[in-house]
Amino acid sequence: MTFRFNDELLLSEEDRALAARTYPNVYFALDHPELRNEFQRVDRAAIDAKRRSRWIGCAALVFATLSLLAFPVDVVIKGIWTNEAAHKPILNYLAIAGACFGILALIFGNIGLGFGKVKRGWLMKRLITERLRQWHAQYIAAHSVEIAVAAQQPEAKAAWLDQRDLSFKRFKRNFIDQISSEYTKYTHASAAAHSGQSVTDPKAETAFWIEDAWASKAAMKPDKAQQAALDEICRALHETRMRGQIQYTNYVLSSEGKFWSSPSKQLHILGNLSYLLVVFAFVANFIALGAAVWGPFVESTSVLSALAIAFAILAVGVRAMLEGLRPQRETRRMQFYAGAINRADRDFDSARTHAKRIAAFSKLERASYDEMVEFISSNERARFVL
């Protein structure tokens, strides 16, 4: 079974048909073809860029590790294969291979050829997709009273859709088309660490709203005659956006999914592998020490010591992979996010007025914004280097 992402955007025909039947009066506000098409276009590019970025980073680590392993392997071959004439060509090839791997590691990793540019392209595209999802949810929440009015008046519905189209075009022009400039806001050195999360301004309670005017629009008092439509809007926001985010955090924090998309699985596999390699290095070193003390096995000392070095190099390589993938940071970020959205969900369930429901939903959007900032800034700092 695979997890379905971004249900609130109604990406599939099945989701749209179900939403049209479930929320018939406000479906016109939930369905946004232009935003959906833009999201799918950028999301596909983001997935490809992430895959290239990860493979370039991993290639840098593999090449660096193989280059460093050339020395202990050389010692092991000399210790096991005593015929110098026979193993000399192999050692020559090994030295050349080690040098080549080292050059490739520098190109892909430390010099940053390809990796930095591809990774930044991935993060920019991911920032766009997250802001698109936030734009969709926030626009509905902020204009919920207007949606309720438009649901009862066909002419008002057309005017509302025209206004949304204009607002979205403005968002594309000011944010998506200027992403290289906008991206800097989320990676600037002034971003502060706050309870493990990076926030640009912890005192700005409404900073998460994409447009400043939306905060006041969201606080508009509705008419009692609009209550049925408002209930339908809130139910749609809760069942698509809020519940979807809760399910997403549960999925990420579980061990389900593939290795590359599961921080828990990455931490479990790589953490245990690193520990085992360190243990093997200590055991090999301890045996080498015993062989050096015990006369009959003195000739094995160099081989065992080289094996200990090889295990240590592999352990460092695995730890570098952990640093590049950052599963610990990803897990903690998702734990913070899960706690915040579950609190918002409880507040939403206990709310008895439209204003309190929107206030609870605003807490989700604030948490979504903070999680996005932490994701961008954390991955911007990630490096696949030994």
Q: What is the DSSP string of 104-163?
A: HHIIIIIS-TTHHHHHHHHHHHHHHHHHHHHHHHHHHHHTHHHHHHHTT-HHHHHHHHHH
The pLDDT of residue 188 is: 64
Whole-model pTM: value is 0.84
Q: Are 208 and 340 in contact (CB under 8 A)?
A: no
Q: Looking only at Cα atoms, what is the longest distance across the chain? A: 97
- What would the two tokens of residue 330 be? 């990803």
Q: Are 368 and 209 in contact (CB under 8 A)?
A: no
Write the Ramachandran bin of 275: left for phi over 0, alpha for psi from -120 to 50, otherwise beta.
Answer: alpha
Distance, in Å, from the CA atom of 164 to the CA atom of 8, rounded to the nearest integer, reads 17
Q: Are 305 and 288 in contact (CB under 8 A)?
A: yes
The pLDDT of residue 4 is: 63
The torsion angles phi and psi of 194, rounded to 5 degrees, stand at -140, 110
- Give the type of residue at 64: A
The pLDDT of residue 198 is: 44
The pLDDT of residue 92 is: 87
SS3 content of the chain, % helix, strand, coil (to 5): 80, 0, 20
Positive or negative CA dihedral for 141, 143, 149, 150?
A: negative
Q: Which residues pair with 199 in a beta bridge?
A: 192
Distance, in Å, from the CA atom of 100 to the CA atom of 110, rounded to the nearest integer, reads 15
Can you count the helices (H) and strands (E) in the chain?
A: 15, 2
- Give the type of residue at 117: K
The pLDDT of residue 34 is: 96
Q: What is the pLDDT along the chain (386 residues), one digit of tens a residue?
A: 455 665 789 999 999 999 999 999 999 999 999 999 999 999 999 999 888 888 888 888 899 899 999 988 888 888 777 777 777 888 888 889 988 988 888 777 655 555 577 888 999 999 999 999 999 999 999 999 999 999 988 889 999 999 999 999 999 999 999 999 889 888 764 444 433 444 445 445 557 899 989 998 888 888 888 899 999 999 999 999 999 999 999 988 887 778 877 888 888 899 999 999 999 999 988 888 777 766 555 567 888 888 999 999 999 999 988 888 888 888 899 999 999 999 999 999 999 999 999 999 999 999 999 999 989 988 887 777 66
